Structure 1
């Protein structure tokens, strides 16, 4: 009888274990069901960067000081910055108290919570076990209207707005975030964190909060003006940003693109685009024959003359096939260059797959830069401003940029590819280049070459005269 009872108990225990396991598996099916039935509110514009891209250099996509938004593609959270954010929230509420209160901002975010939450690719920021626990507790998964989510948006958005205001107006009391402004490098690092592709808040909620707080107040600029001023070190146009912001029709389309940015990464990509519609139209995508271009040194040996362009827009590259001049805007290469381009390229590949202007630019530069001699040539022509210290580091940087980035069938610099290859195919250009580089590269070498030719001619004349006199 005891054996029978023991067997029954064992069977009961196994059954309980199986039931618990079945419930656990079912809960995970419920998660899948939840996501499959959930309406797609809008495109997922904020998501963790492709793991393959992060394999090349994960640090280029990781925030070092400031974490923004709910995506947790990293493990550590800097507590002292989180405390500073809440101090900035208090300062922001005090600055905005004439127009709006904490309740007003809370209501604004709550009303927009579903739209905000719909911007995030949430599978990266929650674990299965956590979701299972949430579902078992009958709590809505990733409920955008939850207090924690609203608090996160409120704290992060107020920190960004306060930071932008104090960077714009140096007369504003800075107080608790003096440590940012008193250390130039710290400001640079935080600006870098705010353009990372997955370290973002949707642009619209930042703008709505700013308008609620300061809309109609002549003492405060528009939020797009404030944002462009903060990111002005990455602004690559010949015209001052203040002129772009003026309410006229000259730059209406460009200004509209800036105001329609999805987030800061998207806005910085637009800041690299030509402000002139004519220049942008000239970058018509086309197929690249053979997908090959010679390096800078080989093109120079083929007769191409590299010149630095007066344009600041990186995409404004021109080749004059009549005189062989290739004009390229100057590019400053420093410690943040890799992070800057990698995040913009990752965003462009995901959301602007048919307008990969920056990816195409990097592909072109990658072809030109194959060795330290190529870098040295571009530095001497003032096309590259090397602040990395070593030409080898610049070569490594550009050779690794396009790993795991698939080139599109069409390239916006296809005309330049075609014209450079055609120019390189004409042998006369190579002969003239050899003559210029080897015999007329410096004034003294040119004088010596001319003197040698004159001496050769005189010797030849003397020989001919001697033969005639015989």
Structure 2
């Protein structure tokens, strides 16, 4: 019995082991198809180890999401609390967008004298390098002349120490430059050159014979031949010196600050000939006489006072002088805005507003054919542009501008100054350049503006002047709101068929004074014929 029981236990153990081993026998086809279809189906096994793994995975995902939320919150907080404390340099480089244009490359580099660190010791071609080196050597004797001309008898060491104390703040005005003592020496020599050149230019005798400042490029060439080039270089954006350095030297050179300010003011008035002074006409004289007879106050000559504290350099002063407006102009602009606001209230329909915002640019020839005449403004500001529509005509008032070889560099550097980060908040000079480009397309447009004494062409032919504005305006950004009201008024005038028809009729049939006199004679003959017929019929 014992042997039989042990055999049974062995058989049971073999059966269990056989059940635990994998099946090696081929399965039936129907079962193999079911297994093949459902082989990717995962059957969850409620095991304790798998539950632990899933719990660990969920905990890891939650921790990652929380860390991402924290990083996002920190990023948003950094955006919210961001404060740009970096001070933009006041004297910056020319934007690459403008310097890359081949036709304007020469308008940004000095020809004879370098001021500041940007072009100091710059390697140029042999001719320009010779001129820059010659004027660089001239700065030392000019600094000596400036020291001798100082009102307060002080040592030259005291003057240099005063400039050196402004070295750190002056260095922050540039994007790059030396950081050692050579920067202070450069500021001292450049500031002495600029102020002494202005004082020499102010004296008519020194300007005519050149006895004070000798020509460094050769005794045979007169100094006056280089005055224009020096003045051109002093108004380049990359060739500026901070006004605070000039103010330090002005305290030693003059008795009070007003004398130094007047020197710079007179220099700017003489050299910024882009806007020539107002012409004395008989009409203005008659207006003044009538105003005196009527007891009205006569407007005095505009006193333009520069502010050295608010302006950063000479080019900034030139810009303020060109865009400055008198109180009368500001009041007139306010009244125009009030009238436009009332016009908007009257035409408050959506179709009216949508139609009013559209306008197109017209050339001088096109505006003339629409009955719009041109005349020079009473001020020398680029912002003094007005339009007035009459019964059958219109009048566009523009500031007078004198164009010569220095006009293109000056306008381009003013435009570059407006494009610099941290520069002026408006684009008034660029808007004026784009306005003139829209008015001038061909030589006939230049001829008409010359005839109206708005343009003074000292450059060459009318074709060259028209091409000048086309080259300058290429790539510039203008403010569409600067002349928006003006353009809307011109567009409204040009869309009036009655005014355009009358203008065309006058231009075609009465352009000659003899044709107008013949028309008056014909009207007079018709009138006499009608009177004669009336008395012949009703005489009895």
Aligned match of 1:87 in 115, 121, 141? 141
2:215 aligned with 1:179? yes
Alignment-derived partner of residue 153 in structure 1 = 187
Aligned match of 1:274 in 296, 320, 324? 324
Aligned match of 1:214 in 250, 254, 270? 254
Alignment-derived partner of residue 111 in structure 1 = 165
Alignment-derived partner of residue 468 in structure 1 = none
Deviations 1:382-432 (A, max 9, x none): 211112221111111111222222223x43222111100110000111111
CA apart distance, 1:62: 1.5
Alignment-derived partner of residue 70 in structure 1 = 117
Alignment-derived partner of residue 231 in structure 2 = 191
Is the contact made by 1:41 and 1:118 (CA closer than 8 Å) also made in structure 2?
A: no
2:332 aligned with 1:264? no
Report the Cα distance in structure 1 between the residues aligned to 2:167 and 2:470, rounded to whole angstroms.
42
Bigger shift: residues 423-432 or 311-320: 311-320
Report the Cα distance in structure 2 between the residues aligned to 1:163 and 1:221, rounded to whole angstroms.
18
Q: 1:239 to 1:301 in 2, by over 3 A?
A: closer
Bigger shift: residues 366-375 or 113-122: 366-375
CA apart distance, 1:153: 0.7
Report the Cα distance in structure 2 between the residues aligned to 1:252 and 1:294, rounded to whole angstroms.
32
CA RMSD of aligned residues (A): 3.6
Alignment-derived partner of residue 402 in structure 2 = 332
Is the contact made by 1:237 and 1:275 (CA closer than 8 Å) also made in structure 2?
A: no
Aligned with 2:429: secondary structure?
A: helix
CA apart distance, 1:309: 2.6
Q: 1:82 to 1:255 in 2, by over 3 A?
A: same
Is the contact made by 2:359 and 2:491 (CA closer than 8 Å) also made in structure 1?
A: no
Alignment-derived partner of residue 164 in structure 1 = 198
Aligned match of 1:43 in 88, 101, 116? 88
Aligned with 1:177: secondary structure?
A: coil
Alignment-derived partner of residue 297 in structure 1 = 365
Aligned with 1:327: secondary structure?
A: strand
Alignment-derived partner of residue 17 in structure 1 = none
Unpaired segments of 5 or more residues in structure 2? Answer: 1-83, 280-299, 341-352, 531-540
Q: 1:237 to 1:451 in 2, by over 3 A?
A: closer
CA apart distance, 1:446: 2.0
Is the contact made by 1:439 and 1:449 (CA closer than 8 Å) also made in structure 2?
A: no
Deviations 1:139-197 (A, max 9, x none): xxx32xx2211111111111111111222234679645143995444212211110111
Bigger shift: residues 390-399 or 312-321: 312-321
Report the Cα distance in structure 2 between the residues aligned to 1:358 and 1:281, rounded to whole angstroms.
22
Report the Cα distance in structure 2 between the residues aligned to 1:283 and 1:366, rounded to whole angstroms.
24
Q: 1:344 to 1:435 in 2, by over 3 A?
A: same
Aligned match of 1:96 in 141, 146, 150? 150
Q: How many residues align?
A: 391
Q: 1:72 to 1:171 in 2, by over 3 A?
A: closer
Aligned with 1:57: secondary structure?
A: helix
Alignment-derived partner of residue 383 in structure 1 = 454
Aligned match of 1:317 in 361, 369, 385? 385
Alignment-derived partner of residue 447 in structure 1 = 517
Is the contact made by 1:254 and 1:275 (CA closer than 8 Å) also made in structure 2?
A: no
Unpaired segments of 5 or more residues in structure 1? Answer: 1-38, 126-141, 241-249, 461-470
Report the Cα distance in structure 1 between the residues aligned to 2:389 and 2:163, rounded to whole angstroms.
56
Alignment-derived partner of residue 429 in structure 2 = 358
Q: 1:59 to 1:40 in 2, by over 3 A?
A: farther
Bigger shift: residues 280-289 or 67-76: 280-289
Is the contact made by 1:274 and 1:316 (CA closer than 8 Å) also made in structure 2?
A: no
Report the Cα distance in structure 2 between the residues aligned to 1:398 and 1:191, rounded to whole angstroms.
22
TM-score if structure 1 supplies the norm length? 0.74
Report the Cα distance in structure 2 between the residues aligned to 1:380 and 1:177, rounded to whole angstroms.
40
Q: 1:315 to 1:407 in 2, by over 3 A?
A: closer
CA apart distance, 1:209: 1.3
Report the Cα distance in structure 2 between the residues aligned to 1:459 and 1:152, rounded to whole angstroms.
88
CA apart distance, 1:291: 5.9
Aligned with 1:99: secondary structure?
A: coil
Report the Cα distance in structure 2 between the residues aligned to 1:355 and 1:237, rounded to whole angstroms.
24
Alignment-derived partner of residue 128 in structure 1 = none
Is the contact made by 2:278 and 2:380 (CA closer than 8 Å) also made in structure 1?
A: no
CA apart distance, 1:443: 0.9
Aligned match of 1:437 in 490, 507, 518? 507
Q: 1:442 to 1:75 in 2, by over 3 A?
A: farther
Alignment-derived partner of residue 305 in structure 2 = 255
CA apart distance, 1:459: 12
CA apart distance, 1:99: 3.3
Is the contact made by 1:332 and 1:386 (CA closer than 8 Å) also made in structure 2?
A: yes
Report the Cα distance in structure 2 between the residues aligned to 1:111 and 1:431, rounded to whole angstroms.
70
Q: 1:50 to 1:95 in 2, by over 3 A?
A: same
CA apart distance, 1:441: 1.2
